[in-house]
């Protein structure tokens, strides 16, 4: 009997049901798209942010005392201590090793250089020598599990782009030079540079010209092994850039690990905060000081937080609009069914039965509208994802369950006042036509 009453209501009043279902479907479609993009936006933006470069800097602890002003670390990175290159594979053993997408060691060496063809000094002024920046271009790192991880400066500093030629091979006597260096001294692709370092001389073939927008534009960039030979520092480097996927830091993330309880430290360590990843790296690199490059990390966090806040506001507005539309439709339906409700009460139906019947109708609409809205929202999420992030978010069963739950909640919230009014109707005045 109960199911017959519900089915009969849908047959006799299709217009109200269609309007309510459409309002729910549209609201749930916007909510589905916003939730799908929000769940996916963290990883997408984190990968996009890696174009900003490394967000962690590793230097020897013995270099200097901390000097941080306004979140920017001003400690020098060219003091006298060095770190062992052999420890670098340990970085991929930390808890968040999958979030570390690249790292590149750097060793800078002051040199004098001249081209083989001209035999003239490129930097004749002793007080302003040329600099060889030793690093990895694309270097395989052997890990403890037997696999190899390819990394280098292309991953940590993606804004270093080649204007001409190609990157050097890490195992060859090759180099690339900065744009300013090339223009000032007439160095071209294919030239051979004679490099005079502190300990020995090396000839390098120029394979490319790079533009970085930094001091590297006026330097020679060569394999790390070459710089180590020139400086007579085999197997050592001066600083390390690390690029890691992280989540925005909150107040909990900024707390010092030394002030945390064991449970708090475990929760902090199991969250991909940039500070917790820095802490875990420092645990495996002895004698190293791991610093967060705050300008990069905080910029990423602010943008990601604002995007998620915007998506949250859009979702809230869509749910509010759906609740108002459902409330208006439900109120109109209750007014039309006053006589039916009065007759039910006259025949013995209590307020609870009347409210349960009307709520069941609304929940069936919520189920249908939520399912339809989820389908429309997935299409909208694919469109937004492809246009903004270049990749569509994948459908999620979790989002479907949340959307059905939201549809039910929005429907009951919007119908609460009309349903309460219907449950309080007195049958006698209604049947008398008052």
* Residue 355 confidence class, pLDDT cut points 50, 70, 90: low
Among 148, 155, 186, 151, residue whose Cα is nearest residue 170:
151
**Is pLDDT at 123 greater than 50 in this prediction?**
no
**Mean of the pLDDT values across residues 358-376?**
80
The residue with greater pLDDT, 409 or 173, is 173
Q: For position 306, what pLDDT does the model report?
A: 75
Q: Name which of 178, 203, 184 is nearest 124 in CA terms.
A: 184
Provide the pLDDT for residue 20. 74
Name the pairing type of β-strands 174-178 and 201-211. parallel
Give the total residue count for the chain.
434
> What mean pLDDT comes out for the span 355-384?
79
Structure tokens at 315: 């979702």
pLDDT (average), residues 248-266: 80
Nearest to 150 by CA among 89, 233, 236: 89
Q: How far is the first Cα of the chain from the last one, in angstroms, to the nearest whole number?
A: 29
* Average pLDDT estimate for 67-87: 64
Partner residues linked to 210 by β-bridges: 162, 178
Highest-pLDDT range among 133-142, 191-200, 309-318, 422-431: 133-142
Q: Compute the mean pLDDT over every residue in the chain, rounded to the nearest whole number.
A: 78
The single-letter DSSP state of residue 273 is B
Model confidence pLDDT, tens digit, residues 177-208: 999 988 887 888 988 888 888 878 888 999 99
Instruction: Please compute the mean of the pLDDT values over residues 338-349 and round it to a whole number.
Output: 62
Q: Does residue 335 have a pLDDT over 80? A: no
Residue 124: the pLDDT is 39
C-alpha distances out from residue 70 to 74, 99, 210, 375, Å: 10, 27, 32, 48
Average pLDDT over residues 156-168: 88
Tell me which of 83 and 398 has the higher pLDDT.
83
Please report the pLDDT score of residue 71 as a whole number: 46
Average pLDDT over residues 208-222: 90
Contact call for residues 197 and 111 (beta carbons, < 8 A):
yes
Concatenated DSSP letters for 4-59? HHHHHHHHH-HHHHHHHHHHHHHHHHHHHHHHHHHHHHHHHHHHHHGGG--SEEEE
Which of 47-56, 87-96, 141-150, 396-405 bottoms out in mean pLDDT, i.e. has the lowest?
47-56
Q: What was the pLDDT predicted at 274?
A: 84
**Strands 130-135, 220-223: pairing kind:** parallel
Confidence of residue 241 (pLDDT cuts 50, 70, 90): very high
Residue 340's Cβ-count burial label (10 Å; 0-12, 13-18, 19+) is: middle
Lowest mean pLDDT among 241-245, 280-284, 285-289, 351-355: 351-355
pLDDT at 7 over 70: no
Higher-scoring residue by pLDDT: 275, 424: 275
For 6, 78, 388, the CA distances from 44, given in Å and listed in that order, are 46, 35, 10
């Amino acid at each position: 009997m109960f199911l017959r009453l519900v089915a009969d209501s849908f047959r006799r009043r299709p217009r109200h049901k269609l309007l309510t279902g459409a309002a729910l479907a549209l609201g749930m479609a916007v909510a589905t798209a916003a939730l799908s993009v929000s769940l996916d936006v963290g990883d997408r933006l984190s990968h996009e942010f890696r174009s900003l470069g490394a967000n962690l800097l590793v230097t020897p602890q013995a270099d200097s005392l901390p000097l941080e002003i306004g979140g920017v670390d001003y400690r020098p990175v060219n003091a006298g201590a060095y770190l062992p290159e052999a420890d670098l594979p340990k970085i991929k053993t930390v808890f968040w090793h999958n979030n570390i997408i690249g790292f590149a060691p750097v060793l800078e060496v002051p040199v004098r250089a001249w081209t083989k063809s001209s035999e003239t000094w490129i930097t004749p002024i002793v007080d302003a020598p040329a600099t060889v920046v030793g690093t990895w271009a694309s270097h395989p790192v052997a890990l403890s599990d037997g696999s190899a991880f390819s990394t280098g400066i292309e991953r940590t500093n993606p804004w270093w782009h080649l204007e001409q030629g190609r990157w050097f091979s890490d195992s060859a006597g090759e180099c690339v030079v900065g744009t300013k260096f090339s223009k000032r001294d007439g160095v071209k692709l294919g030239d051979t540079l004679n490099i005079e370092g502190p300990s020995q001389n090396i000839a390098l073939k120029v394979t490319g010209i790079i533009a970085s927008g930094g001091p590297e534009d006026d330097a020679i960039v060569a394999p790390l092994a070459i710089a180590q030979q020139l400086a007579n520092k085999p197997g050592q480097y001066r600083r390390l850039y690390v690029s890691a996927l992280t989540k925005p830091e909150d107040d909990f993330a900024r707390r010092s690990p030394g002030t945390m309880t064991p449970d708090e430290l475990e929760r902090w360590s199991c969250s991909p905060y940039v500070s917790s990843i820095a802490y875990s790296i420092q645990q495996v690199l002895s004698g190293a000081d791991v610093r967060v490059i705050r300008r990069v990390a905080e910029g990423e966090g602010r943008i990601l937080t604002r995007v998620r806040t915007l998506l949250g506001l859009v979702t809230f507005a869509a749910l509010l609009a759906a609740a108002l539309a459902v409330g208006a439709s439900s109120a109109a339906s209750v007014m039309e069914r006053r006589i039916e409700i009065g007759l039910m009460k006259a025949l013995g139906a209590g307020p609870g039965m009347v409210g349960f019947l009307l709520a069941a109708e609304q929940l069936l609409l919520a189920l249908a509208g939520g399912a339809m809205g989820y389908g429309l929202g997935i299409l909208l999420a694919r469109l937004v994802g492809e246009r903004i992030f270049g990749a569509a978010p994948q459908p999620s069963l979790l989002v479907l369950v949340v959307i059905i739950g939201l549809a039910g909640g929005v429907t009951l919230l919007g119908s609460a006042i009309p349903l309460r009014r219907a449950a309080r109707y007195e049958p006698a005045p209604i049947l008398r036509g008052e």
